[in-house]
């Protein structure tokens, strides 16, 4: 399981890591692919349950992005 630095950013609503944010550019902020929001929260400010959800969601999305099997270590 991947360890997150306390300053890493996640979507405030969905818990998706900012690695997976889409869009953006020089005038528009990147946005969450699920809810379209751009508000972020640092990992250290997430509750215990939200941290757990964020870690699990990161693993699922990482495996999907790189076509890795369910047993692949991140």
* Statement: residue 69 has pLDDT above 70: yes
**Any idea which of 18-22, 53-57, 62-66, 68-72 has the lowest mean pLDDT?**
68-72
CA–CA dist 64, 58 (Å, integer): 10
Helix then strand then coil, in percent of the chain rounded to 5, is: 30, 10, 55
pLDDT tens-place string over residues 2-59 = 789 999 999 999 999 999 999 888 888 899 999 999 999 999 999 999 999 999 999 9
Token duo for residue 51: 């941290």
Element (H, E) at 9: strand 9-11
Rounded to 10 degrees, the C-alpha dihedral 55/13/50/68 comes to -20
């Amino acid at each position: 399981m991947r360890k997150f630095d306390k300053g890493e950013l996640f979507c405030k609503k969905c818990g998706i890591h900012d690695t997976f944010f889409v869009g953006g550019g020089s005038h528009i902020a990147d946005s969450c692919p699920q809810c379209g929001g751009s508000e972020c929260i640092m990992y250290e400010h997430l509750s215990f349950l939200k941290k757990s959800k964020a870690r699990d969601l990161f693993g699922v999305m990482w495996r999907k992005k790189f076509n890795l099997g369910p047993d692949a270590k991140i």
